[in-house]
Amino acid sequence: MNAVELALEKQRLLLEIARQRAELSDHADGLAPLLGAADRVHAGLRWAARHPEIAAGGIAFVAAVRPGVRRFLWRWGKRAAFVAWQVWRRGGNWPGKPPSWPSTSLSR
């Protein structure tokens, strides 16, 4: 192929890409509300991660007001503590814990 044929092929491919982008955009218009809701949920979770004291206060308030919620939180809190202990014990990535290095045996 010479330079002119390559330039024409490149131009044809760029036009095909533009057509495919427009078609994909038309098909994705129906997903816009769903993706917008997912973005809002993600933003809310990021906000809650930056302000854990507010989330903990809300949970504590609900637990104080409703006794059924208190039992539910106690039961799941025990399970979460057990899972966290298992992850920590097995050397998982844990905040504040140094990375576990493979042990080197000197008795080879």
For residue 69, being part of any structural domain is answered with yes
For residue 25, being part of any structural domain is answered with no
For residue 79, being part of any structural domain is answered with yes
- Domain range for 67 is 40-89
Could you give the number of structural domains in the chain? 1
Per-residue pLDDT of the chain (108 residues; tens, 9 = 90+): 799 999 999 999 999 999 999 999 888 888 888 889 999 999 998 998 898 898 888 888 887 888 788 788 888 889 999 988 888 787 766 566 655 555 555 554
For residue 78, being part of any structural domain is answered with yes
For residue 58, being part of any structural domain is answered with yes
**Angle between helical axes of 67-89 and 52-65 (0-180°, round to 10):** 140
Name the one residue in this structure whose structure tokens are 């949920």.
41
Structure tokens at 94: 């844990």
| CA–CA dist 36, 32 (Å, integer) | 6
∠ CA(50), CA(54), CA(58), 5° rounding?
Answer: 140
Would you state the pLDDT for residue 99?
58
| CA–CA dist 23, 21 (Å, integer) | 5
